[in-house]
Amino acid sequence: MLLAARNRAGLSQSAVATAAGVRRAYITKLESSARCPSVAVAQALCVVLALDGDEAALLLGCAVDDAGHNHPARTAA
């Protein structure tokens, strides 16, 4: 769904990554379902890709609130 939305928007992975504040490799992983987005990134992608209600709900439903640099496993190490 993210790949289709990005193609529909006419944006490159790099452009989406820059606008969402993440790395291009992270967008690649999201598009291939290798990663789940954090809530913050999912919200940013909804805006950047102008996702409609159903697409936004799908993406936000997959989002996790403990991803990224604030993950408890990172702070415990």
In single-letter form, the type of residue at position 17 comes to A
Q: Per the confidence metrics, is the pTM higher than 0.85?
A: no
pLDDT confidence of residue 60: 95
Distance, in Å, from the CA atom of 45 to the CA atom of 63, rounded to the nearest integer, reads: 11
In single-letter form, the type of residue at position 25 comes to A
Over residues 44-54, the pLDDT tens digits come to 999 999 999 99
pLDDT confidence of residue 65: 82
Over residues 4-40, the pLDDT tens digits come to 999 999 999 999 999 999 999 999 999 999 999 999 9
